[in-house]
Amino acid sequence: MVYVTGDLHGDYSRFKRPEMKKLRAGDILLVCGDFGFIWDNSKQERAVLKKLSEKKYTIAFVDGCHENFDLLQQYRLVRWRGGVARLIAPNIFHLQRGEIYTIENQKYFAFGGGHSQDYEYRRDTGNWWRQEQPTHDEIRRAIRNLNRNQATVDYIITHEPPASLKDCLGVDVQQRLEIHAFFEDIIKECDYKKWFFGKCHMDRFIPMKFYAVFQDVLPVTDERD
């Protein structure tokens, strides 16, 4: 089974919640950004990562706006499920922006990053990284990958939601980025079944294809798929 959840922010207690108990050996948990367990390389953090590496299931995450990108980029790139990912541990992978992964014969388009709403407070404190904001080159690479797949995937995993959804989510878009325009193009030009995102810190289905996820642990597929 493949499951999806929202921002973890380095909170190991999330793995003790009842929602996580459904995961079994061989399952995959997709995290929609702000993984947060690679932040300061402290002894405590390394111990928690070791605990996660002992899980019988796989954890794969897109990056969010609250990540230490300098540390993340120290992990080596590997091939995983038909795409490129950073190998954090044998069962933990950092999904790269614009890559398409094949899991259980289904195609997953991943695109992390976005814009921190607390940017003004964090930029001078040493815990904000410019790499959180996707670049033009990353978007162009994503477009090429989508075109190679005839603009058709099964599921989309992102941190940011499409900007056109933010009004119905009650989220203020303070800064429009190139990623927002790109996501609107995906809505118009691509075929997909469901789109999951984590930034809004809520659990909500938005008809017809969008899922804001936070603490829920949702099976990606259901009877309709």
Question: Is the pTM value of this prediction over 0.85?
Answer: yes
Beta strands 28-32 and 106-111: pairing type?
unpaired
pLDDT tens-digit profile, the chain (225 residues): 999 999 999 999 999 999 999 999 999 999 999 999 999 999 999 999 999 999 999 999 999 988 999 999 999 999 999 999 999 999 999 999 999 999 999 999 999 998 766 655 666 666 766 778 899 999 999 999 999 999 999 999 999 998 888 766 766 555 557 888 899 999 999 999 999 999 989 999 999 899 999 999 999 987 556
One-letter amino acid identity for 167? D
Q: Indicate the angle between helix axes 136-148 and 178-189, nearest 10 degrees.
A: 10
H-helix or E-strand containing 79?
Answer: strand 77-80
69's tokens? 């990108």
CA neighbor of 27 nearest in space, from 51, 74, 60: 60
